[in-house]
């Protein structure tokens, strides 16, 4: 009887051990979020106007991540976000200058109305919940 119980316990332990994923998930349960580069959102891009100087663009977007030595008329802003357990997100923005004035912006974040971008961010942050008046029973 005792041998049967020990055999059943050993078999159950082995089967339970097989139910886990990889051993790395058990050993490293926490992975940090990695953020690299310049974070540029639509509200920042919407502040850019054609004809702005390089200093004004640097004030709005920050220092560029990549400045090409051979093409000084282009600044690149790259942002990468890798959550601990998730998909990689990458955004790139290229800013082009002609005669040290902003000519055009290309990339993943489009320009547009800054107020619409701010409203959408505020709507995502706050919600109004109607609470009915209390009634006495």
Q: Is residue 79 part of a domain?
A: yes
| The total number of structural domains that make up the chain | 1
Q: Is residue 40 part of a domain?
A: yes
Which pLDDT tens digit goes with each residue over 94-115? 899 999 999 988 888 755 544 5
For residues 135 and 111, the model is more confident at 135
pLDDT at 118: 52
* pTM, 2 dp: 0.59
Where residue 95 sits, what CATH number does that domain have?
3.30.1450
Whose CA is closest to 94, among 114, 120, 73? 73
Domain assignment of residue 41, given as a range:
29-124
Q: Is residue 24 part of a domain?
A: no
Q: Is residue 12 part of a domain?
A: no
pLDDT at 42: 84
Burial 41-57 (b: 16+ CB within 10 A, else e): ebbbbbebeeebeeeeb
CA separation for the pair 95, 75 (Å, rounded):
5
């Amino acid at each position: 009887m005792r041998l049967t119980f020990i055999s059943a316990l050993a078999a159950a332990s082995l089967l339970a051990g097989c139910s886990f994923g990889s051993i790395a998930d058990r050993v490293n349960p926490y992975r940090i979020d990695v953020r690299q580069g310049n974070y540029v959102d639509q509200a920042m891009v919407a502040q850019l106007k054609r004809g702005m100087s390089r200093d004004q663009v640097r004030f709005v977007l920050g220092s560029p991540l990549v400045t090409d030595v051979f093409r000084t008329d282009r600044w690149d802003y790259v942002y990468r976000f890798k959550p601990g357990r998730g998909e990689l997100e990458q955004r790139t923005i290229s800013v082009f200058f002609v005669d040290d004035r902003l000519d055009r912006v290309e990339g993943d974040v489009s320009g547009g109305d800054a107020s619409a971008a701010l409203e959408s961010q505020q709507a995502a942050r706050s919600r109004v919940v109607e609470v009915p008046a209390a009634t006495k029973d």
